Structure formats: C-alpha cells, structure tokens
Amino acid sequence: MFAGENQNWALADFEINEINENLEGIQKYCSERTETKSIGMINPAMDSLRNAILKKDEKLFRKSYTNLTNSCNSCHQSTNHEYNVIVIPKNPPFSNQDFSNKNK
C-alpha cells in the first residue's frame, strides 16, 4: 500500500511479485485443502493491481487495493475465518523501511 501511495512503483512491483509467490506456494503446498480451490477468486483483484502498477496509476492502485482487500475478506468469510479481518493499513508496517520514492 505505502509503495503505491508514494508512487514508488519499482517497490510496489517487487511486492506484488512476493504476494504472487505466496499465492503459488499455497496452491502447491495446500492443494489438498478445500479453501485452496477458491483461491482463483483473488485473481481479478491481483490483475487489476498489477495493471495499476504497470500504468503507474495511483487512483487505480487505490481502487484495486480496496478490491483485493475485499476479496481477502470474502474468502475468510466463506471459509468460516470471518474473524480474520484484513484492513487497509494506516501506518507503514516497518519503521526501518523507507517507502518514499527517491528517484521520482
């Protein structure tokens, strides 16, 4: 979130690839779990976020990020993990990482 907000597109691109690797890991190692079958529901939101990063479009980034967060929650609800609520972060997760873009 903070990479896109600061238009640090190189960092945002790196991070979306990390999310993708995690999703692939789930499909590979948790393939026997029923929840894994619905993981494709997250693809449209991931595609649109990737597109926003490619286009360096901050407005689309924010919209896609909200969509992605909603997809996380709708799966948690449908898999009886509704207590696991994902929100859009308000503060950067690490105090030792600079999310601003020095090369803007």
Contact track, ligand HEC, 3-42, x by CB under 6 A: --------------------------------x--xx-xx
Residue 53 CB neighbours (<10 A) = 22
Q: Which CB sits closer to ligand HEC, 24 or 100?
A: 24
Task: Please report, as residue ranges, which positions from 56 to 85 form the binding site for ligand HEC (by CB under 6 A).
Answer: 68, 71-72, 75-76, 79, 81, 84
DSSP code string of 48-101:
HHHHHHHHT-HHHHHHHHHHHHHHHHHHHHHTT-TT------SS-S-TT---S-
Question: Which amino acid makes up residue 32?
Answer: E
Q: Please report, as ranges, the residues that interact with ligand HEC according to CB under 6 A.
A: 35, 38-39, 41-42, 68, 71-72, 75-76, 79, 81, 84, 86
